[in-house]
Chains A and B, each alone.
Chain A
Amino acid sequence: MIGKVLGRIYIGLVLVLLYAPIMVLILLSFNNSRSRVVWNGFTLNWYRSLFENDAIMNAFGTTIGLAAASALIASIIGLFAAIGMYAMRKKDYKTFMFFTDIPLLNADIVTGIALMLWMVRFMPLGFSSVLLSHITFNIPYVILSILPKLETTDIRQFEAARDLGAGNLYAFVKVVLPDLMPGILAGFFLSATMSMDDFVITYFTKGPGVNTLSTLIYGEIRKGIKPEMYALSSILFLMVLIILIIANHSAKENNGYEK
């Protein structure tokens, strides 16, 4: 019994560690002062002025656009790649796996610098260079999400569909794709999350004038963060919380992918 209570206390402490900074940020979004330390009464002003702050709104749009576009393109390329890799002999498969691991294992700063050094040769740094970079580090997440699903897919079902007269594409879309869907979705959302969370690679590959929320915040550190940023982050956090609760709720029976 004592062990059980101690266990709960321990988990409680870990949660305090994880959530204390987040509570601070949410409190600051309601603080009627630009000061970061003094509490000066409750206000919703920052939530109101947030929508008039062009810099933050632009960065928000860029962040969401980047996340959606890079996750979508990475999902398509990654899906095809995973299926192709699944059909490869061990040696080729291993070579592909090695290159898939590089963006995952390499330090972000090296990936960012390498991409920047290469891309300045043929294009101006801006939104597109950041998008290409995000796709690059997202494809591996998609592949690693889809491959395990492919391994549990029964190829005989596909062959049965073919024998029964379905074309290749039709059999794939109707038989294989539904099995892969959880992996594809996991890869897509993982990619979108990684893209939204990225700072270092964006920082090196972006051009002047383009900002994501992360790079905007980084640029403001010295001047002081605008309280509207706390408001936006609190809204985003709440939205993710709600989306995840709904997703977990609807996927209750579908164990494995919502982990």
Chain B
Amino acid sequence: MNRKKIQILSIPYLIWIIGFTLIPLVFVVSKALVTPDDRLTADNLTAIFDSVHRKALITSLEVAFISSLICILISYPAALIIRSFRIKNRKAMIFVMILPMWMNFILRILAIQMLLSKNGIINHLLSILGLGQIEIINTTFAIILGTVYDYLPYMLLPVLNCVLAIPDDIVEASKDLGANRYTVLTRILLPLSLSGIGSGITMVFVPSMTEFVIANILGGGKILLLGNIIEQEFSVTMNWNLGSGLSVALMIFVLVSTLLFGRDSGADRGYVI
């Protein structure tokens, strides 16, 4: 059968791309470029640099950056440790690590709120033990904590897939050639894990930068991320043009940061199932 005929099978998808990916993006961009009374303007786009929006943008970047970093710092040692497990146990570990994703994510964040809040479970336990109180609810730190918790499996999975795929032979060979554990880590394991870490970053950074539910619940509505501001433009202030403009600006930021990290399409994404 010739290739042309087989390619025809992609046509329904091509139509879908045009109808539900391309045209909607054109719409959001065109909405972003006009005022509510349809005059051409760039104000909606540059609005991202207004003081309130700029502050939200910086907080969003901060949350996304620190959360991604903490996710890496938790996931990478975990992956190396799981690598030392027997094959059977490795699979069980992967299973146990992704299972929490099947509990509804808003409920999980609410559970974190219950744990962290002023009269929450952790403070309750601390007071029984006669220790001091923690006051982290409604801070940026609480948002970061929730973000790390929510997206950790998305970092763990690609990092694990990548680290577990490194052949033992290479590690053995480098040891035979006199490499100590530090050299094995920095010269062999880390370079070979970079693609997994990269996939993990793209799966954690973008969602955590644009999230608004976690910030709503754990930030107590006081700390605004870009996602919160865009959401409010659509549901409260009803300025869809400004909301679209900020969305487009956000999209540009996401694209630039993705390009900076670089990424190979789906290679180490790993299946969730």
Contacts and interface: CB of A to CB of B under 8 A. Distances in A.
Interface of B is mostly: helix
Interface size bracket, B side: 35 or more
A15 B6 contact: no
12 contacts: A11-B93, A17-B152, A25-B108, A80-B10, A81-B9, A107-B207, A113-B28, A119-B24, A162-B1, A236-B103, A258-B273, A259-B271
9 tightest A-B CB contacts, nearest first: A84-B10, A81-B13, A21-B111, A107-B210, A114-B24, A84-B9, A87-B6, A7-B81, A118-B24
Given A19-B100, A113-B247, A248-B95, A87 B121 contact: no
B16 interface: yes
Interface string A239-259: 011001001100000000111
A197 B101 contact: yes
A85 B227 CA distance: 34
A190 to B, nearest CB: 6
Contacts of A10: 77-78, 81
A128 B97 CA distance: 34
Contact of A14 (B23, B27, B78, B213): B78
Given A15-B97, A20-B111, 11 more contacts: A17-B149, A19-B100, A24-B115, A81-B13, A84-B10, A86-B6, A96-B10, A110-B254, A186-B273, A236-B102, A248-B95
A113 B254 contact: no
B234 A113 contact: yes
Query: Taking each of B206, B231, B271, which has the highest tally of chain A beta carbons within 10 Å of its own beta carbon?
Result: B271
Chain A: number of interface residues, binned into ranges: 35 or more
Interface in B172-228: 202, 206-207, 209-210, 212-213, 216-217, 227
Contacts of B40: none
Contact of A107 (B12, B124, B234, B251): B251
B35 to A, nearest CB: 16
Given A108-B210, A115-B20, A217 B106 contact: yes
Interface stretch (B41-49, B134-142, B262-270): B262-270
A218 interface: yes
B187 to A, nearest CB: 20
Contacts of B230: 109, 113
Contacts of A233: 103-104, 107
A133 B20 CA distance: 8
A185 to B, nearest CB: 8
> At the interface, is chain A mostly helix, strand, loop or mixed?
helix
B25 interface: yes
A199 B13 CA distance: 24
Contacts of B91: 248, 259
B127 interface: no
B180 to A, nearest CB: 14
B11 A84 contact: yes
Contacts of A109: 210, 212, 227, 230-231, 247, 250
Interface string A153-174: 0000000001000001000000
Contacts of A104: 266
B131 interface: no
Contacts of A11: 78, 81-82, 93
Contacts of A117: 24, 27-28, 31, 240, 244
Contact of A88 (B7, B94, B209): B7
B250 A107 contact: yes
B25 A114 contact: yes
A88 B77 CA distance: 41
Interface in A109-140: 109-111, 113-115, 117-119, 121, 132-133, 135-136, 139
A59 to B, nearest CB: 11
A70 to B, nearest CB: 12
B196 to A, nearest CB: 13
Contacts of A84: 6-11, 13
B51 interface: no
Contact of B105 (A97, A199, A230): A199
Nearest to A136: B20
A145 B271 CA distance: 8
B87 to A, nearest CB: 9
B239 interface: no
B21 A103 contact: yes
A21 B210 contact: no
